Structure 1
């Protein structure tokens, strides 16, 4: 049996980290490369985003893009913003990301990612004993070598043994004991989600204090995770001999499941109870990048086809476990003109679970059109 490995953050490992700072990292796994109708659709389905702009060529043809376009979060399906480097047996948890977007990804575009290790800090964390906070930067370029977007993720590396000893479940009951009436209300809220679509949201009509329409996700289950992996597999998920060859080359990537005796990726903490338990977690949980994609859905629903996400920053301050339900919300906190004359609004966002905890506070900046020229925002981004 190959159990879940419990590694240590040693002085030697920290010295190796220090030497890597500033290096370009090798992107060993790129999932999507070309933005086709299928890769766009599967990704949008994987985050539960039914906006016609990503699904319907006819709707997209009538939009300012004039053809099918990918949601801004689709870049996460090309490369999930960060690379797990070094420290075998030391758990990795995505802690937050700062996104910047410069150009849309249109159907037919091909995207090339680059990854850089930009720094680290050593901290004492109650959850995982000695902890490394590492910082990376992902850059995404299209086939014309134009910079499309940048992601700056932060992640924790924690000793699994300390995580198991602490066991964070506490007084949380998992799975959450929903009543039938509570589930009916959640499903009603999910189905009430609205996309603004082709109706422009003008900068002049937005005011500080405006509330974004809430979107609801959950209760989170295994099919939600499967759908996300189909659209945006963050690791090279393979089967049978294909996976075994990978594990023979990289034995630290897997462990032997005590229930099925199969070799499973460490990544399966996101859908496998055995993996989650071995890491000291009470239940499988979502991915930070996945949750951030839900946040961008909140923004694109509100701003419509003529808006543009300029920046989208968020911290992942808690887990969204299987059976959890969350509500994503936003409030306009500022309205201003940018240095280049852009008409901008600042939106403070939140992601509240059924326990009342904000598990993803964030702040985004959205560019909106003027009622004098509704095409200006998108057209600027489409100029070669």
Structure 2
């Protein structure tokens, strides 16, 4: 399925455009609400039937029972040990619940949901070939123009606020407090009409690189970009929008409660401000070291980069998963080069980095339970 956006002038990409020749300018337009991003590579799953919301509620981390028509939320499907399997953007239209997921995630999500149907009145369908998503921010020309094309459903990202039942680990003013990303789902055959808004000059097209940069600056986690096989929600401050701490039992809930109430997440997501003197950005998976140790072949890393971008205001920035116990004022450096993610490879160029704390090292342990004296 070739996206018509790849036929627009300057488009660079294979499945969707990563940029259209001017990624920094595209960021500015996207943030101002005057550009849209083609997300037609993302997956779309629908669940219909009278039991759909209570059934999804019983399996995932968010309060979905009683979700009103048109209301947007997000939820996580965890494994029995609390690790993230699927990050799901959810909106219900009154008859069908739409589950929006990252690229290539829809088949696995459908397979799991079909295994869990039992005798419940639900129908699951992978609608990725039938529908496609685009994203825009509020405040400019893009959203009004897209709404006029009558999308099938609209999902409004809740990241700007702590949702009911959630909690925020980060301290102070949150950089995502003005986040207004909105995903609009159109029949796939209408995607050329959406691209026509760009060809006519009504809106501008922005690539996925522009969206990545804005997400990184807003501390907005992404499953494809940031989650690995060990990830739990607490490491990303995802309890603020994707987890309801008082909803009761679901798969992985024991880990969520135990880490939040009694323990600490083993890693913490951190924003890194990168030295831009060499104009180099680290690759995803690049290893992070304490300053002065990155050049040693036998040095032990303290974390890894998940995503990096050149932001139009902040310069080089990155999200990194770091060891929880690493002091927040520790100067860091990141290995560059093609072998940056290989701890045994010869060290390449080093990029100095400073931490901006997203998840503090003392996150969790909210219940002060005294230890019993041992005999």
TM normalised by structure 1 equals 0.23
Structure 1 or 2: larger helix share?
1
TM normalised by structure 2 equals 0.24
